[in-house]
Amino acid sequence: MGLPELWFVIIAILWVGFFVLEGFDFGVGMLHGVLGRTGQERRVAINTIGPFWDGNEVWLIVAGAGTFAAFPDWYASWFSASYLAVFLLLVALIIRGVSFEYRGKVDRPGWRRLWSGTLMTGSLLAPLVLGIALGDLVAGLPIDADGEFTGSFWDLFTPFGLWSGVTLVVLCLVNGATFLGIRTTGELTERAHRAARVLGGVSCVVVAVYAVWLLAITDHSWGPILPLAIAPVALAVSVVAVHQARDGWAFVLSATSIGCAVAGLFAALYPEVLVSSTDPANSLTVTDAASSEYALKVMSVVALVFVPLVLAYQTWSYFVFRHRLSA
């Protein structure tokens, strides 16, 4: 494995890490206003992700920055094509972040409903837009021989891209419900269990279709088959764990399903990084889109030093805030 291939794997791991860690954040954000029947219960649901959500979003920033540094041609073509989508993503993340801070500034029901609505909206739009963008890498975008995007905004809405967005949304919902199951008490926990059972059953079908569709549209080796097979199975077992009140296993398995779904997409994409729907010869590959050998070596040293530190800090923070919250 050369440095370009190594950095493709690292970029894939960063995306997997982002959705595994941020998936339950998005899920809780979407569900807090539905499962929380009172203002106090909604506050408890939000507090479960309070110590984690902003740290988890760092993985998205690192994934984007890593793509820019390791694969500048990939970054230029993909982000230029998705310019309006990236703008929408930033709006979603901004209103989501602001809602955490502003929701408690004024003690009025209307004010709290407003910011709960922005939290739910931002938490829904972010995984939807990211799922569409990732699905488009495989489904293909109109890219010419110079790597320039020749389509319009509506060309981003490929059928598989849309399904990828829906898949990540439902997976985040299940992951959020199972997370509330291990972090709350009382009636809120019971509602989270019911939501996880219902959403889990629907998600099993959605993820299975996603896996079959992905394998059908790509020229792949055996690489993506294992993670794409694990994704729906892990989700199904997670639903069983919820029925048995094994909250910890239910959460771990639902997070595994998200990770495998994203990992399977990158495994199916390799050795390309962006498929051209105009002409397969215009597709960007790992080797062609990579930075210089020297740049990749410097990045490898930096990653070797700082990634373990980030993982150690996040592990410690999850340990500190591991206890259940109650009203």
Element (H, E) at 272: strand 272-274
What end-to-end distance do the CA atoms of the chain give, in Å?
52
What does the alpha-carbon distance between residue 11 and residue 301 come to, in Å, rounded to a whole number?
15
- The tens digit of pLDDT for each residue in 173-210 reads 999 999 999 999 989 999 999 999 999 999 999 999 99
pLDDT value for 323: 86
- The tens digit of pLDDT for each residue in 90-149 reads 999 999 999 988 988 888 888 989 999 999 999 999 999 999 999 999 999 999 988 888
CA distances from 113 to 1, 38, 43, 110, 120 (A): 52, 11, 12, 5, 10
Cα maximum dimension of the chain: 59
Q: Is the pLDDT reported for residue 1 higher than 80?
A: no
How sure is the predictor about 72, in pLDDT bands with cuts at 50, 70 and 90? Answer: very high
How sure is the predictor about 220, in pLDDT bands with cuts at 50, 70 and 90? Answer: low
What does the alpha-carbon distance between residue 216 and residue 244 come to, in Å, rounded to a whole number?
35
Mean residue pLDDT of the chain comes to: 92
Total count of residues recorded for the chain: 327
What does the alpha-carbon distance between residue 302 and residue 316 come to, in Å, rounded to a whole number?
22
Domains and CATH numbers, the chain: 3-320 (1.20.1630)
142 φ/ψ sector (left φ>0, alpha ψ -120 to 50, else beta):
beta
pLDDT value for 115: 93
Residue pair 18/56 in contact by the 8 Å Cβ criterion: yes
